[in-house]
Amino acid sequence: MVTHNDVSLPPSATRRGFRNCFRYFCYCFFFYIFTVFVLLGIFTLVLNLLGKTPLDGDIPSIEIHRITVSNFNLSNPITAHWKINMTMQNNCSSFEFSKSTISIFHETKEEALWMMSLKKFDMRPKNSTFHFALDFWGSSADVDNTTLRSIGENITNNLGAVKFNVQFKADKPRTTKLKHSIEKLWFESKINMLIIGCDVLLRFGPVDKTHADMSKADSQECVLVTYDLF
């Protein structure tokens, strides 16, 4: 008669098996976490490569050709009649601007003296040019005495030359090949507060201090001031 005796592992072998299983579990867990982070990094990199930002050159170029101002009343508030001629060159495939404004600052750029809202527009196809011919009356907000004095002194003592800064500010949706797939599912990515500014020099006449002009020789190409990408 054959009998079978129960065979049990010694306690040391049981502990070793438990430790091996625990090590294997930890290895699999950390490997999984590492793989997830790597894939997320690759996914983010692909999105950044396909969705261009302003630093990739995917921004418009603006040039101001001429600005004239008449009926300039240096009081508080300052009132004036502005005419601005400028062009915008499209450097990307297509884009759309919304909530865009043209603001005029004194050289200190602390607070806009005048502001004009523009209608929503888009530029298509690539390398197209958009022409602006703005004609508007403007009344500034409250202006501090320092700004009033600075403008007045420049008109009187600086051969009538006063420096202003003209800024184009707008919301610009981000250009991306994944706009209708991944971006639509995950997030609405846009470049908010795209600001392009130009320093211009307006010359008031020696007799008529209410009229100023920027000659064609003073044509200014604007530069990117700031943007907020989210």
- Mean pLDDT by 10-residue block, N- to C-terminus, for the chain (230 residues)? 52 61 76 84 67 53 87 88 86 70 81 82 74 83 83 86 87 53 43 76 87 74 66
Parallel, antiparallel or unpaired: strands 95-106 and 121-123: antiparallel
- The Cα–Cα gap between 175 and 41 comes to 21
Tokens 């005796």 belong to residue: 5
Under DSSP, the state recorded for 216 is G
**Fold of domain 54-229:** Immunoglobulin-like (2.60.40)
Q: Are 83 and 68 in contact (CB under 8 A)?
A: yes
Please name the amino acid found at residue 83. K
Q: What is the pLDDT of residue 71?
A: 93
- The Cα–Cα gap between 179 and 188 comes to 9
- The Cα–Cα gap between 214 and 220 comes to 10
Q: What is the pLDDT of residue 53?
A: 47
Q: What is the pLDDT of residue 211?
A: 92
Q: The tokens of 27 are what?
A: 């290895």
The residues spanned by each domain of the chain are 10-50, 54-229
Q: Are 145 and 70 in contact (CB under 8 A)?
A: no
Tokens 């915008």 belong to residue: 88
